Structure 1
Amino acid sequence: MTSDPSNEESGIPAAYTYFGQFIDHDITKTRFDESMHPPGGPDPIEAGDLTPIPRANVFKLISNDRSAVLDLDSVYTGMAAEAIEPDGTFRLSEVSPSNAPELPKIATADSSHDLPRRPLIANPQSEDEQERDRQALIGDPRNDENLLVAQLHLAFLRSHNVLVRDRKMSFDEARTAIRRRYQWAVLHDFLPRVCERAVIEDVLRNGPRFWQVDRKEDLVIPLEFSVAAYRFGHSMIRGEYSHNATFTRPPEGKVPATFNFFFTFTALSGDLQPGPGASEQFPTLPDNWPIEWHRFFGTAGNQASPNPARRIDPNLTPELAKLRDFQGNPIETLMARLATRNLRRSFLLGLPTGQAVAARLGIKPLSPDTLRAATPTGLDQTIGEAGLLERTPLWFYILAEAGDPAGPNGQHLGAVGSRIVAETFYNLAKHATDSVIATRPTEAELETGEFTLKGIVKIGQDQGMPPIT
């Protein structure tokens, strides 16, 4: 699934690839029971004798450390409390001098372009010191695992600060305002880009058909969503990006910004500089790495932006077959291959096949010929002999459905994937704090343009950077 070196493009701007990851970190964080995953031990999917967990035990052995609903607990809870100032704003970190004149700094009006962090520990010895070294003070540490999602998290903090400082809101008022803009953006900006139009319109107008949740206490994240359908975003990841004026492919810039590059500019890497291995060079993000958001959003003249997401289909960028650890070193185990992780996790948790889910939803299943056409080169005979054209893993099935040339052709999810994703998000918004389903924004609020992802980012955009148009 990672044999395609191209960046074959969809019409979706790349900002939505990482908005999808940001949302994922807000609603799900899987925790296995210690009997399956002892602290510091290998992931259960690495077991050589991998066998499915009995269905009756699945929800006894795994739990969700997030609130599930769309309430931005990944932004406002946990260690984030340590970064809240007396006036209700978030303390942000200033970027550090890069000391690389050949890679010039990015021009900005202010220097607050890194997440709030603990101080640098020059020589961390214990595990506790290693964890605290430049640790991001945010609600979910995973939002500091790659630079793109970290910069998106920062954009939410900057916009919160503008609402407090410039619009004179209290902390609680700003949190409510950001939360409601976020929920509306998920339902009316993100989902229409990645779901089949008829499905999302039906769900938004009439509510869910198949997964109806009347009480918040009954709300869970469906495994079909978290382990399969919502992992469609992995196919949208590009091998490299036009990140800013410096880190983009020559002749415009100096250095291409590859996907794996972004994982070394985080505190989780213990690094904050390019290249493998630990380094204490920078206490915060270097001043030549702030994101230029106009490159990640579409415009009237270029709907997909300079960084269109890849097509949604079973072809993943080769970068996802050679993942690195948080210090930028190549992973030597099967965990280096993201497709392998996804398929083994769905097997471990006993997910139904794509055909079974399609039947449950009353949708005609994909034909074996369609699935065979979507199969990675050279594997069609093996997959056919294994019976996987009739009993297809749900994640692969959803990607094949999205990539079907006779269907969505890579531009959005198909009928099965759209139904699972749209109904799940409807429930997560319905039962959220400050729900926009319970209380719709006014027309005057919507006319501000701030109830989209682009609108949220623009609230706090640095005025010295190229504008998001």
Structure 2
Amino acid sequence: MSTHGKISLWAVEFPFASKGLKPPAAGEPASIPPGFRHFLRNPDRSQQFAIDGVPFDPKVEAQRDRADDLMRKLAGAMLFEYPRDPLNPNIPGGYTYLLQLIAHDLVESSLFLSRDQSSPIGLSNVRSKPLRLETIFGGGPIECPHAYEHGVGIFRDRLRLGQVRPDGKRHGGHAGDLRDIARARGTEVHDDPEYPEALIADARNDAHAILSQVVVMFHHFQRKILDEIETYVKAHSAGNPVADAQRKFVATRAACALIFRSIIRNDVLARILHPDVRTAYEAGIPIADPPQGLDNGTWQVPLEFSYGFYRFGHAMIRGKYSFNPKMPPPGGLGIADILVHNSADKPDEMPFEDRWTIDWPRFFANDATNLSVRIGPWSRADLEKAVRGANPQDPGLTVRDLTSSIATQPWSVRALAQALSKTHGKLFQSSRYLGGPLDDPKNPPWLGDVSDWLRHHRPTSGQALSDDDIRILASDPPIPFFARFEAGQDPKIEGKYLGVLTSIVVADVFYGILQKDRLLNIDDDKDLARQLQQVSTLVFDDRSDAFAGLERITTVNSLIDYVGELIRFPTGG
């Protein structure tokens, strides 16, 4: 969570002075990092996010200082207690972190930018093939050999797993249960009982304890499918054991990715999207912003999605989680400890003790133990402090979300809604905040509600919002704030799922990929059974049943049931 790369308000100021480079002139559009683009198209100046009617330009020092002040004040207003009924019965807490894994399968920044004074030079999104589980598989055993181990043959075809250790035991007392990711140490620290290296394809997935446990589940998933293929599928041999192993690996990887997409469509999106928006996209409403470059590896993620609307998940984070029966509610592990329980921050506490492994029904079943927090314009002090780290001057998570969003010079919420109204306007009727005229930048339909909310939540200490600040923010709110506001403050939604505008943008990105991207040229983006049959026929000599039964895995809980004893607490693996 705290290791996410960021574009900050300071990004455009500092790289040029230190490197002798000439920055773009004020008023010129900022260059977009490779692998990113704006949603729909590049907004013109009248359509960009603005401060008091002036399109925000982070290259202008006075504008940058004003924006920094506003975003910090807005983050302060969002730092308050949740509603009286804060938990979301619609979304168990595990989905918060599955959403993070999905984000990693959409965006992989080439650099980790620092939290402050960060430079975008060299930044790009190198995830050119979205939603193919590259965040789990990487480039495969040839490109990422450290993430794989040998199976029955000489080819590294199985994703690695690591042993947990009994509670209270140091190293050398492993329990033998494969319920952690694999971890290692360099030869230069051979005698040091630390494991600072996570042997996974995407190092971001060891950012914290919950996310790495999600990775364990997917590693077991791949291994079980591969084991079943080797046991039950008798395909014609190519006469080369490596070629045979590679063929099975490719088929298994494709099956995992197709099932992953089915889970996203049938489970994740069903929970987070506004029901009217999901119904429209399932019925075939045209994609407003069709993805480009999926066939040749030049796909680009929309900035307004990745740095704006998709940040809603940060509102869903709890203060504590009960991982397993050893931590009965109301006890549990605090979010600050969870965020640093990884190889990078706590190598001396790796591999995981048994008490840090997850009993999955607590995170994905309809169990009140770890329900997520309702989506809304609120944050929590312990999370902000954990992300900020030791330096109190560093921005917290909410400030970083807000400044990252506006630093990309995105669409204003009003202009984006106005552009979408031409094709998706009927859906606006389901929104409390999009039903009025959208042509006046000074008087958007949500102006009164946002103004009232900001006045009610002015911080009583520190940097307080002035009436002028409230007018500016209410007329042109930053995207991450609006996404959380329209979900949390609409009485018909009450934070149980996303608001209409956020749902449209999120759905458009996901359904665009699901409809347009073809794995192994497999057709039919809806019928998982047919997709799996096509993969089987393609790889295994016209045999169509290699993955029979896997078409039933369309939710996280059905995936958990399939993997079964391998991830069951406390004797899995």
**Same-fold status (TM-score > 0.5):** yes
SS at match of 1:465: coil
CA distance in 2, matches of 1:240, 1:383: 37
Closer/same/farther in 2, CA of residues 427 and 139 from structure 1, 3 Å limit:
farther
Aligned-partner SS, 1:422? helix
TM superposition shift of 1:151: 0.4
Q: CA deviation at 1:439?
A: 6.8
1:322-333 map, 5 Å: 322-324=385-387, 330-333=390-393
Partner residue, 1:465: 569
Residue in structure 1 matched with residue 17 of structure 2 by the alignment: none
State which of 261, 274, 279 in structure 2 corresponds to 1:183.
261
Any idea what the Cα deviations from partners look like across 1:405-428, whole Å, max 9, x if unmatched? 334221111111001000101123
| 1:111 matched to 2:177 | yes
What is the CA-CA distance between 1:396 and the residue it aligns to? 0.6
Which of residues 399, 402, 407 is equivalent to 1:348? Answer: 407
Deviation at 1:385, TM superposition (A): 4.4
The residue identity in structure 2 corresponding to 1:358 is A
Q: Is the contact made by 1:311 and 1:411 (CA closer than 8 Å) also made in structure 2?
A: yes
C-alpha distance in structure 2 between counterparts of 1:414 and 1:5, whole Å: 18
Tell me whether 1:401 sits opposite 2:489 in the alignment: no
Shift of 1:456: 2.2
Whole-Å Cα distance in 1 between the matches of residues 87 and 289 of structure 2? 32
**Are 2:527 and 1:440 equivalent residues in the alignment?**
yes
Structure 2 residue 159 is the aligned partner of structure 1 residue 159: no
1:70 aligns with 2:156: no
Residue 207 (structure 2) aligns with: 145
Contact 1:124 1:133 in 2 (8 A): no
AA partner of residue 312 (structure 1): I
For residues 30 and 206 of structure 1, what CA distance do their matches in structure 2 show? 32
* Aligned equivalent of 2:495: 410
Task: After TM superposition, list the pairs within 5 Å mapping 1:227-306 onto structure 2.
Answer: 227-249=307-329, 255-271=331-347, 280=348, 282-299=349-366, 302=367, 305-306=368-369
The 3 A distance-change label for structure 1 pair 268 and 67 is: farther
After superposition, give the CA deviation of every residue in 1:295-334 in whole Å (9 maximum; x if it has no partner). Answer: 01224xx5xx421111111012322211257xxx634332
Unpaired segments ≥5 residues, structure 2 = 1-77, 152-156, 234-247, 422-427, 429-433, 435-443, 459-463, 534-547
Cα distance in 1 for partners of 2:282, 2:103 equals 20
Contact 2:316 2:374 in 1 (8 A): yes
- Asked whether 1:82 is paired with 2:146, we answer yes
Q: Distance in 2 between matches of 1:124 and 1:230?
A: 42
Counterpart amino acid of residue 297 in structure 1: F
The answer to whether the 8 A contact 1:68-1:221 is kept is no
TM-score after normalising by structure 2: 0.66
1:380 Cα shift?
A: 6.0
1:62 shift after superposition: 4.0
Q: Give the TM-score of the pair, scaled to structure 1.
A: 0.79
Question: Which residue matches 1:225?
Answer: 305
Tell me which residue corresponds to 1:277: none
Determine the structure 2 residue equivalent to 1:36. Answer: none
What is the deviation of 1:69?
Answer: 1.1
Range with greater deviation from structure 2 (75-84 or 18-27)? 75-84
Going from structure 1 to structure 2, the CA distance change for 1:150 and 1:215 (only over 3 Å counts) comes to same
CA distance in 1, matches of 2:525, 2:314: 32
Inter-CA distance 229–324: structure 2 relative to 1 (3 Å threshold):
closer
Show CA shifts across 1:330-376 (max 9, x none): 343323x1010011111211122222222221142542222134437
Aligned counterparts of 1:348 and 1:124: Cα–Cα separation in 2: 44
Which residue number corresponds to residue 539 of structure 2?
Answer: none
Give 1:83's aligned amino acid. Answer: A
| Structure-2 separation of matches of 1:64 and 1:194 | 25
What CA distance in whole angstroms lies between the structure 2 residues aligned with 1:237 and 1:208? 33
Moved over 4 A (4+): 120-125, 379-386, 434-439, 443-448
Q: Which residue of 2 aligns with 1:29?
A: 108
Q: Which structure is larger by alpha-carbon Rg, 1 or 2?
A: 2
Q: Given the alignment of the two structures, is residue 209 of structure 1 paired with residue 270 of structure 2, yes or no?
A: no
Residue-by-residue CA offset, 1:363-411 (whole Å, 9 max, x unaligned): 4254222213443711564465451111111111111111123342211
How many angstroms does 1:147 deviate by?
Answer: 0.8
Q: Contact between 1:199 and 1:415, CA under 8 Å: does it hold in 2? A: yes
**Pairwise CA distance, 1:165:** 1.7
User: Unaligned stretches of 5+ in structure 1?
Assistant: 33-38, 272-279
- Once the 2 structures are TM-superposed, how far is the Cα of residue 115 of structure 1 from its aligned partner? 0.5
Query: Would the aligned equivalents of 1:324 and 1:330 in 2 still touch at CA under 8 Å?
Result: no
- Secondary structure, in 3 states, of the residue corresponding to 2:261? helix
Match of 2:241 in 1: none
Q: For 1:85, what is the secondary structure of its paired residue?
A: strand
Contact 2:305 2:506 in 1 (8 A): yes
